[in-house]
Structure 1
Amino acid sequence: MQTELNKVVTALQEFYARETFLLDRDVGERALTHRLAVEFEKHFPGWEIDCEFDRLGDRTLRLPHGSTVSTDDHLAKSIYPDIVVHQRAIPNNLLAVEVRKSANHQPLEHDRHKLRALTDPHVWFAYWIGVLLTLGKTHVTMSEVYTSGVLDQALSGWFAQRLKDAGLSAG
């Protein structure tokens, strides 16, 4: 998992080096997510990178029964991870990423819930790793890593240190 997370760190370094125009102008999260996904494509050969992808083959990706849902959801039950690293046709799901701007004052719980659900090994579409990133104008202000349906404290700490070592985190 550290290998894949190192790729995320490298993509973030390139994103922050290239996208100062967007970051300085406080553009929307979807624009930032798209540009970050472009950087991901360089580091995950053999994988497809998609934004707000809600399918597995012909099936719509849905949270498990009883889950909270997003108000921007056209069916009120499907989910749209901000960025996914996967193989569409198989399906083979490696990484789900939720991105937030540091200026976003909405509660983190919805994003956390999605990542717990997306990495839950008991669901048929489980992603191997989930990452929550809060992006500031010059660095990542918060990150969390999810595996097996829970916040992975050890991996989150390791990832936060990698971000710090790469100059991508103030903490």
Structure 2
Amino acid sequence: MQTELNKVIAALRDFYAQEGFLFEKDIGERAITHRFAVYLERQFSGWSVDCNYDRLGERTLHLPHGTIISTDDHLGKSIYPDVVVHQREIPNNLLTVEIRKASNHTSLEHDQHKLMALTDPHVWFAYWIGVLLVLDRHNVTISEVYVSGVLDQPMSLWFAERLKESGLGVAH
């Protein structure tokens, strides 16, 4: 898991080195998410990297009824992950990333619940690792790692420390 998270850090390092314009001009989260996916794709050779991907093979992603996260996208709050690293043809979902701008002051709860759901081993499309990133102009202000449907506190602390060592994180 540390190998995959180190690749996320490498992608963030390249993203911040090249994409400062997005923050200077206060560009929207979807554009930031797309540009981050470009750098993430370079780290995961042999994998597909997609934004807002809503399928697993021929099946559409849907959560069981009664879950806290909606699959209705008319409000832009869907189960569709911001960025995924996966194999499209087979159920091999490696990594899902939720990205927020630090200037977005709405609650993180939706993204946190989404990552819990997307990594829940009891759903048929579970991702191995979920990562929440809150980005400001120069670094990652909040990072969390989700595994098996829960926040993995030790891995989150390790990841935050690695971000800080890389000059991309802030002290917690």
Residue in 2 aligned with 1:87? 87
Residue in 2 aligned with 1:133? 133
- Check 1:77–1:67 CA distance in 2 against 1; reply closer, same or farther (3 A cut): farther
Residue in 2 aligned with 1:62? 62
Residue in 1 aligned with 2:13? 13
Q: 1:93-129 deviations in whole A, cap 9, x for unaligned?
A: 0000000000111111110011001000111101000
* 2:113 maps to amino acid: H
Task: Provide structure 1 residue ranges, at least 5 long, that are not aligned to the other structure.
Answer: none
Q: In angstroms, what is the RMSD of aligned CA positions?
A: 1.8
Instruction: Report if aligned partners of 2:96, 2:127 keep a CA contact under 8 Å in 1.
Output: yes
TM-score by length of 2: 0.94
Q: 1:49-77 deviations in whole A, cap 9, x for unaligned?
A: 00000111111101232122359614999
* 1:51 maps to amino acid: C
* 1:99 maps to amino acid: I
- Check 1:46–1:17 CA distance in 2 against 1; reply closer, same or farther (3 A cut): same
- Check 1:69–1:3 CA distance in 2 against 1; reply closer, same or farther (3 A cut): same
Query: Identity over the aligned pairs, expressed in percent?
Result: 69
Residue in 1 aligned with 2:166? 166
CA–CA separation in structure 1 for the residues paired with 2:17 and 2:51: 21
Residue in 2 aligned with 1:24? 24
Residue in 1 aligned with 2:43? 43
Instruction: Report if aligned partners of 2:63, 2:71 keep a CA contact under 8 Å in 1.
Output: no
TM-score by length of 1: 0.95
Task: Provide structure 2 residue ranges, at least 5 long, that are not aligned to the other structure.
Answer: none
